[in-house]
Structures are given as C-alpha cells and as structure tokens.
C-alpha cells in the first residue's frame, strides 16, 4: 500500500488531473509535442490541472540540457503547466519506501534471469513477451551471486487486470499469462520505470494519462502495480503515432523534427500548433493559431471523436 500520508492526500483530492512526462533524453520531436498538446487540451477541456513530470531516473540515458529544451519548447507553444516542475529523481525516497513495503509483505522475489537467458522467450505475432516465472519459486537470496545482484519482481496475483481506454476497447489482460511478474528494481540497482510511473499516477492523483499507442503494452504492468497498492488506475488515451513520409515513427534521433529546426525552416509557434492540429484534422492545413485559440475552438466530445477515428 502507499504510505499513509499519501493515502490521506489522495482521499482529499478532487477533480481532473493530467500530466506530460517526457524523459530528458533529447529534444522533443513533433510527435512528442503533439502528445503534450493533446494531453493539455484534454485536461483543460475538463477544467483540470495539467502537471509536468520529468522522468529522469534512467541516468545513463539522460542528456545535458535536454530538460531545459523541454521546458522552453512547451512554454513557446503556450503549454503552461500547473504547480512546480516534478522530477522523478527527487522522489526516489517515495519509490524506495513503496518497494520496501512490498518486499516486507512478501510481494517481491529476487530474479537472476539475464536478458540473454530470456532472449529465447518469444511472443507470437509481435506481442509483448511474458516472463515465464523461472525464479518465482526458486530458493534464492537477495545478495550478489557471482558478482551480480538480482532484479526484484512483483509476484502478480491471478486474475484480470482491467483499465479504461478512451480511444479503444477497455484494457483486459490476464495477469499471469499476458502480463507476467513485473520487474520493480533492476539488477543494476535502478528503480524500474513501471514502479515509479505507477506510484506517481496514484500519488499525484492523475485521472487522465495521454501518451502514444507504443506505450499501450506498458499499461498492464503499471496497472498491476497500482492494484497491488490498492489504487484505482487513471483512464488512458493512447494516441496514434505521428509517422514520417516513409511510414516510420518519429524519433528524437531525427534532429530535423524539433521545434528549433522547425523555427529555422520559418515555422513560428502559431504555425507549429496549426501543423499539429491539422495532422489530426482539427483545423484545415496551413492554419495558424495559438494553443489557447485551439482550446477555445474545441470540445472534448469533438476531440475524442477525431482521435477515435485515427486510433
């Protein structure tokens, strides 16, 4: 369960809350910026608060000045957030306390399977591979063996993990056969993405998670952690990805699709907002408008209808 003071905090929280949670691994590209815009619109159209969280726990992947560029790009597009900036790196104590509680309650077990050992565990038709439980009932300590520490996995309870999808059918996955025991602390000592994300969605009172459909497979593991903490998952909006002319998803490695490069091509903030909105057929091609003007010209029903057509 979450620490008691956070349970009390959640019990008093009302209203809608959205969030944008980029990792500081490079400049945001058009797809990232469009996700931020849609998340901001969905939250504002519900009269809610929109939070900005920097998911910076994976230190080796962080890039210098990436956070500053993220903040600058969002402000340039008029996507102002509510409250102070949230950094996951400053919340490690919270994640560690949740992890310790789960271990004390016998909900975790050490796993010594390496990536190489699991490489042969295949998933049919491109589905996400499910951990087969090699270490689930293995007698093993928590210390190092042969110079290597174990990862820590959550022992999932049998049953169906369900969540609300706003752009597709509701999520329903069998915990044991379609999700598998989730890693919450990696063997290198880093806290896992699924743990931090799930704890934050609950602790920050997030009601709407808007993100790319490439993260749909992450929902089952995160909902599993939330259920273990007696929390109710938010509703999810998994957006279609923005593809380039070759049908490939945009990447931060493509330096030509960031706000700075678009500015060099003569596109100001109003043109970029128009480009993003036109890509979803919210406005005609070539439109120029601010995020605030788009907000005034849109409704939640219309936005959801447009997104559902493209999902």
Does residue 250 register a pLDDT over 90?
no
pLDDT in the model for residue 83: 96
Does residue 104 register a pLDDT over 70?
yes
Does residue 124 register a pLDDT over 90?
no
- Hey, where are the domains in the chain? 4-103+162-171+193-310
Q: What is the mean pLDDT of the chain?
A: 90
Does residue 105 register a pLDDT over 90?
yes
CB 50 within 8 A of CB 41: no
CATH of segment(s) 4-103+162-171+193-310: 3.40.50.620
Does residue 10 register a pLDDT over 60?
no
The SS3 of residue 47 is coil
pLDDT in the model for residue 215: 93
pLDDT in the model for residue 125: 45
The SS3 of residue 278 is helix
Hey, what are 55's tokens?
A: 């998911």
Please state whether the predicted TM-score (pTM) of the whole model is above 0.85: yes
pLDDT in the model for residue 121: 60
Q: What is the DSSP string of 169-219?
A: SPEEEEIIIII-PEEEE-TTSPBPHHHHHHHHHHHTT--EEEEEGGGGGGH
pLDDT digits (tens, 9 = 90+) for 173-221: 999 999 999 999 999 999 999 999 999 999 999 999 999 999 999 999 9
Most confident of 69-83, 125-139, 231-245: 69-83
In the sheet that holds 182-185, the strands lie side by side as 108-111, 151-154, 182-185
Bridging pattern class, strands 171-174 and 108-111? unpaired
pLDDT digits (tens, 9 = 90+) for 252-284: 665 557 898 888 889 999 999 999 999 999 999
Most confident of 4-8, 51-55, 56-60, 101-105: 51-55
Looking at the chain, the number of H-run helices and the number of E-run strands are 11, 10
Please give the share of the chain, as a percent, with pLDDT higher than 70: 88
Does residue 246 register a pLDDT over 70?
no
pLDDT in the model for residue 19: 98
């Amino acid at each position: 369960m979450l620490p008691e003071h956070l349970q009390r905090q959640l019990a008093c929280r009302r209203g809608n809350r959205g969030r944008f949670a980029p990792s500081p691994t490079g400049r945001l590209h058009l797809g990232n910026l469009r996700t931020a815009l849609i998340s901001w619109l969905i939250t504002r159209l519900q009269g809610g608060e929109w939070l900005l969280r920097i998911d910076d726990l994976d230190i080796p992947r962080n890039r210098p000045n990436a956070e500053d560029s993220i903040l600058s790009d969002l402000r340039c597009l008029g996507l102002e957030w509510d409250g102070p900036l949230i950094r996951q790196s400053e919340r490690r104590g919270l994640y560690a306390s949740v992890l310790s509680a789960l271990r004390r309650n016998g909900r975790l077990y050490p796993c010594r399977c390496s990536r190489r050992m699991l490489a042969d565990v295949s998933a049919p038709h491109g589905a996400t591979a499910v951990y087969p439980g090699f270490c689930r009932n293995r007698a093993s300590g928590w210390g190092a063996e042969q110079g290597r520490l174990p990862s820590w996995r959550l022992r999932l309870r049998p049953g169906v993990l369900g969540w609300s999808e706003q752009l597709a059918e509701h999520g329903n996955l069998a915990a044991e056969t379609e999700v598998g025991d989730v890693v919450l602390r990696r063997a290198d000592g880093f806290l896992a993405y699924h743990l931090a994300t799930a704890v934050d969605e609950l602790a920050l009172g997030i009601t709407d998670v808007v993100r790319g459909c490439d993260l749909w497979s992450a929902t089952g593991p995160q909902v599993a952690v939330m259920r273990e903490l007696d929390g109710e998952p938010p509703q999810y909006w998994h957006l279609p990805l923005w593809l380039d002319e070759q049908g490939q998803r945009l990447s931060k490695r493509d330096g030509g699709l960031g706000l700075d490069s678009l500015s060099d091509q003569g596109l100001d903030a109003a043109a970029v907002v128009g480009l993003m909105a036109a890509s979803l057929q919210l406005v005609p091609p070539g439109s120029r408008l601010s995020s605030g003007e788009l907000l005034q010209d849109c409704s939640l029903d219309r936005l959801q209808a447009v997104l559902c057509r493209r999902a």
